[in-house]
Structure 1
Amino acid sequence: MTKTMPIMNDRSRRLHAHGWFSIVHVKSDESQEIRMLLCNRLTLQTKQIDIENDIRGTLRVFGIKFAGRITSGPFEGRVLELIENTPRLAAMVKPMLIARAALRQQCAVLHKMMLDMVRKDETCRRLMTIPGVGAITAVTYLTTIDDPARFERSRDVGAHLGLTPNKCASGEVDRNSGISKCGDVAMRSTPYQASLALLTRSTKNSGIRAWGLAVAKRRGFRRTVVAVARKLAIVMHRVWADGTEYHWESKAATAN
């Protein structure tokens, strides 16, 4: 699609001539549409969790607590069982359960749309060969980066997503603090969750996981999760840019 340059006035031309304008990447229409789908899906999911927490709080006021951990599956059945003998409480809670069921149903519709897009996209399928990277991580990364050619080096992606240490330098002070947290919040949290799952839930050995466990022994677990998230973002860019897949036995895949 052809993009036209905006009309600049005299002041804008002077600023542009002095190099005070920086290049800004405009995402493709497809990336913006997919990102909107992800945002809408997350909104429905968040509202569903809010309703569940409100129901728990309502029952707690009346001295009713869930025994043990209640997963999302039997949640409604367990609530109906607990309020069976309290008709007034049931009259207040049942509308909340109906709203929750509607949110779950529509969230499932958007989730299926997202999965269908991932199945049809070759890049997403290749990104999902990387350990810890699932459908949501892959498609979120795809819509955030949009074009891998934007970055000359894969390691620059970590800084773009705000996963690199923040530099504090003034006078005699020169130290690194926490990560900069610049860039896309959704994209930064997605590889963090993927890193956490890779380190704590994955049962299959990989070069990235072995590297992360070695770092955890020296630097602690919290820093390791961020470091692995940054490495995942770098490896994802390399896989995307090279048009290849991740090789689990490859030691080169864990290189900085």
Structure 2
Amino acid sequence: MDFYAGLDVSLEATNVCVVDGDGKVVREEKLETDPDSTELFLAEWGIHLKRVGLEAFSYSAWLFTALAEKRPPVICIETRHAKAALNAMLNKTDRNDAKRIAQMMRTGWFRAIHVKSEAAQTLRALLVGRKAMLGRVLDMENMIRGLLRPFGQKVGEISVGRFDARVREIIAGKKELEAIVAPLLNARAAMRLQLAKLQRLALTAARSDSAVRRMMTVPGVGALAPLTFRATVDDPTRFRKSINVGAHFGLTPRRYQSGQTDRIGSISKCGDELTRAMLYEAAIAILTGVSKNFKLRLGGLRLARKKGLKRAATAVARALVLLLRKIWTSGTAFRFGAGGKRGRVAAAM
């Protein structure tokens, strides 16, 4: 007889439930969150486990990878799909969650997700760290600006390199204010230095990846957008169609249809926020920062005249996903067509 296991994973403990083919619970246990403990529990009594399921969250990727190396048939299930099933239970406990996941494994009512490789997760950590550091630097600069306003001092529009000198200039001679602001400027300088290190690491990663270098041949697309796209997708072949990638990043419109009602709303925004933001920034650059015309830009400009820049940028970001995946999977690079009016993907030299 086949057996099915469900794991409800938390930082400290993992609840395990095993059911048979008829859905009867045959074993339950609460274990320390550790791959060795979980694998030993599942293997020590010699049953044939057809499927082992766990819900996706930040900690489960490590557990999934470790268990997969020990060769149990592990499946990581999509969070929203799992939540819908778990919410159907009257009493929500960790033990009941493990039981419900085991039943999902038995019935097949689940949606498996792709667990990223360690290299993709490392690259993702770099990009998230860079974005977080950039946010802290901007917060610090805005705080300094805000502290000076009650004294009638305005920093104004200034380049990054001249910010420190400008602030010290306008507070010169005000000893009490200098004593307050100087440590903040020193902290900003230290954060800027670390941000530059993370930026260099990101650029080095982009230069060392041939797929990212090919994606960067698209006009208006720098290093960060394709690098983020690369880290999030990890394996482009897991999407059967390129159009599915746009939906994966929440760039396709929501639709509600029931009876005589049929509404198409704004984009779903259900995918990765960081990648979606980077694609949107690249789309804005294509529409506003590229002087040479090609098919993707011309289509976006026509839409911008009718619907506005924001909607046009969203449509261009969705089309850019298709183009980047095509470049990635085909081993090709972008180049302008005849006359520079239509861009196309061409064989890389």
Q: Same fold (TM over 0.5)?
A: yes
1:38 matches 2:38: no
CA contact (8 A) 1:207 1:248 kept: no
Structure 2 residue aligned with 1:89: 177
Shift of 1:170: 2.7
Residue 333 of structure 2 is aligned with which of 206, 223, 245?
245
Q: Describe how 1:63-78 pairs up with structure 2 within 5 A.
A: 63-67=152-156, 69-78=157-166
* Counterpart-to-counterpart distance in 1, 2:291 and 2:229: 24
Match of 1:57 in 2: 146
Is 1:176 matched with 2:243?
Answer: no
> 1:16-61 CA distances to partner (integer Å, 9 max, x unpaired)?
3422121210000000001101111111111110010000001001
2:336 aligned counterpart, secondary structure: coil
Alignment counterpart, residue 210 of structure 1, candidates 261, 286, 298: 298
Partner of 2:114: 25
Matched residue count: 253
Give yes or no for the alignment of 1:5 onto 2:72: yes
Which structure: greater helix fraction?
1
Shift of 1:241: 1.2
Residue of structure 1 aligned with 2:217, choices 118, 125, 129? 129
Say if 1:144 and 1:187, in contact at 8 Å, map to a contact too: yes
Farther off after superposition, 199-208 or 175-184: 199-208
The one of 198, 205, 208 equivalent to 1:117 is 205
1:65-124 deviations in Å (ceiling 9; x for gaps) = 124x11211000000000002111011000000000000001111111111111111011
Task: Tell me the CA shift for residue 182 of structure 1.
Answer: 0.6
Paired amino acid for 1:122: S
* Structure 1 moving runs of 4+ over 3 Å: 1-14, 250-254
- Between structures 1 and 2, the one with greater strand share: 2
Return the offset for 1:11. 6.8
The structural deviation recorded for 1:217 is 2.3
| Residues in 2 aligned to 1:53 and 1:154: alpha-carbon distance in whole angstroms | 41
TM-score, normalised to structure 1's length?
0.92
SS for the counterpart of 1:73 is helix
Q: Which runs of 5+ in 2 are unaligned?
A: 1-64, 76-97
1:101 to 189, 200, 204: 189
Tell me, yes or no, if the aligned pair for 2:335 and 2:343 is still in contact at 8 Å.
Answer: no
| Greater relative contact order (CA < 8 Å, ≥ 6 in sequence) | 1
1:160 matched to 2:238: no
CA distance in structure 2 between the aligned counterparts of 1:222 and 1:48, rounded to whole angstroms: 27
Moved more, 93-102 or 9-18: 9-18
What percent of counterpart residues are identical? 42
Q: Any idea what the Cα deviations from partners look like across 1:179-233, whole Å, max 9, x if unmatched? A: 0001100001101011111111112222211111122223222210100011111
TM-score by length of 2: 0.68
State the one-letter code of the partner of 1:5. P
Provide the C-alpha distance between the structure 2 equivalents of 1:12 and 1:213, rounded to a whole number of angstroms.
48
